[in-house]
């Protein structure tokens, strides 16, 4: 409830306070929304605010992207449909991150407890309690078995890199069988696997098996979730005597946190299979060929019909894809992989 002067009532203040708006901030925001054509100083006087109070509120609202500066130096309120919706989404993301951190702490505590239980202390696993598996063969077998039991969905975030296949990596054979049963399989990897001699073939084999695969520059953790019921997470090597290990959990909170994390990573990742089989699109292939032939950025830009800035941006992406620290190293890796031959 608000007054004619734009001052919010207690219920409104309590609601928006959760988004970080102080009472004064909300009053100023509402005032700017109600009087969009008024200059800021006039609105401050109308609402009875001291100049310093009003200026402070405007600065906070600007930081929250609820107010923007206009070309003439005045301020304008951003529509609540856009500004407040974005603020709510930001707070939701922060809460999801916090929940993920808490679930990680719970997981670490549970795994540590299981690791240090004596045989007499160990009892049959209760619903939701962790099940820890050690050893590469045992881990691969358990992951394959879980995928074999999947009925609706499998999602995975894999930190496989540099020829290393992490414990939660999807086995192609089990993936193919799951897809044939109608299971949707999605997995995300680092961008650099596209240029990895071993992993590049592995992820493309997953695509051939019917999985949806995407890659991105950075990943938060390894994780596998099956049917929104079971989560598989790697156990730190220090806890397993340097043997691959995973912990299996059916805790709803952990499953939800992993699913939310996966969807956020998936939304920002690039599909594997777009462009050419090696992960480069036509323009990247053409630019790589020009650079390998000795063309400068300026010359390459002119031949491609793009700006020098665009060329340098593409070069940066090529270096990331090739996991190279310099242009020279990127060129050497490209030649090693047979690029840019088509």
For 92-271, which CATH class?
alpha beta
**CATH: 1.25.10, 1.10.10, 1.10.3470, 2.60.40. Which one for 10-67?**
1.10.10
Residues 300, 304, 310: CA angle, nearest 5 degrees: 75
Contacts of 87 (CB under 8 A, 6+ apart): 19, 20, 64, 65, 66
Q: Where are the domains of the chain?
A: 10-67, 92-271, 282-336
The domain made up of 282-336 has a fold known as Arc Repressor Mutant, subunit A (1.10.10)
Same fold, 10-67 and 282-336: yes
Q: Closest by alpha carbon to 215, among 133, 155, 271?
A: 271
Encoded tokens for 211: 């999985």
Alpha-carbon distance of 70 to 203, in angstroms, equals 49
Alpha-carbon distance of 280 to 276, in angstroms, equals 6
Encoded tokens for 1: 């409830």
Contacts of 225 (CB under 8 A, 6+ apart): 153, 154, 155, 156, 231, 232, 255, 258, 259, 262
Query: pTM score, two decimals?
Result: 0.49
Q: pLDDT by residue for the chain (342 residues), tens digit each?
A: 344 344 444 444 456 777 888 888 888 888 888 877 777 667 777 777 788 888 888 888 888 888 887 766 678 888 887 778 777 777 776 766 666 566 556 556 655 655 555 444 444 444 455 678 878 788 888 999 999 999 999 999 998 877 677 878 898 899 999 988 889 999 999 888 887 777 888 888 888 888 888 888 888 888 999 998 899 988 765 444 556 678 888 888 888 888 988 998 888 888 875 434 455 667 787 888 787 767 888 988 898 888 888 888 888 878 777 666 777 667 766 655 556 544
Alpha-carbon distance of 26 to 23, in angstroms, equals 5
**Phi-psi domain of 65 (left: phi exceeds 0; alpha: psi -120 through 50; beta: other):** left
Given the DSSP bridges, would you call strands 212-216 and 184-190 parallel, antiparallel or unpaired?
parallel
């Amino acid at each position: 409830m608000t007054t004619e002067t734009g001052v919010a009532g207690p219920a409104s203040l309590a609601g928006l306070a959760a988004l970080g708006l102080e009472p004064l901030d909300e009053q100023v925001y509402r005032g700017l929304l109600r009087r969009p054509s008024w200059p800021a100083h006039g609105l401050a006087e109308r609402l009875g605010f001291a100049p310093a109070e009003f200026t402070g509120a405007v600065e906070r609202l600007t930081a929250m992207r609820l107010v923007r500066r206009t070309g003439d130096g005045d301020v304008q309120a951003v529509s609540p449909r856009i500004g407040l919706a974005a603020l709510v989404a930001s707070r939701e993301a922060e809460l999801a991150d916090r929940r993920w951190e808490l679930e990680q702490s719970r997981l670490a505590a549970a795994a540590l407890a299981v690791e240090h239980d004596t045989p007499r202390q160990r009892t049959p696993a209760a619903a939701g309690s962790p099940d820890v598996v050690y050893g590469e063969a045992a881990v691969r077998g358990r992951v394959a078995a879980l995928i074999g039991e999947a009925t609706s969905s499998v999602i995975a975030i894999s930190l496989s890199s540099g020829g290393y296949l992490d414990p939660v990596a999807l086995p192609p054979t089990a993936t193919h069988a799951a897809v044939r049963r109608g299971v949707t399989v999605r997995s995300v990897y680092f961008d650099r696997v596209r240029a990895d001699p071993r992993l590049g073939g592995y992820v493309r084999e997953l695509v051939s098996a019917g999985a949806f695969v995407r890659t991105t520059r950075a990943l938060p953790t390894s994780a596998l979730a099956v049917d929104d019921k079971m989560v598989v997470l790697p156990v730190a090597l220090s806890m397993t005597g340097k043997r691959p290990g995973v912990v299996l959990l059916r805790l709803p909170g952990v499953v939800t946190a992993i699913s939310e994390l996966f969807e956020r990573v998936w939304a920002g990742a690039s599909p594997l299979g777009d462009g050419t089989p090696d992960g480069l699109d036509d323009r990247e292939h053409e630019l790589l060929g020009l650079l390998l032939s000795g063309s400068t950025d300026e010359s390459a830009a002119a031949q491609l019909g793009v700006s020098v800035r665009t060329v340098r941006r593409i070069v940066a992406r090529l270096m990331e894809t090739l996991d190279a620290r310099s242009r020279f190293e990127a060129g050497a890796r490209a030649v090693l992989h047979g690029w840019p031959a088509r």
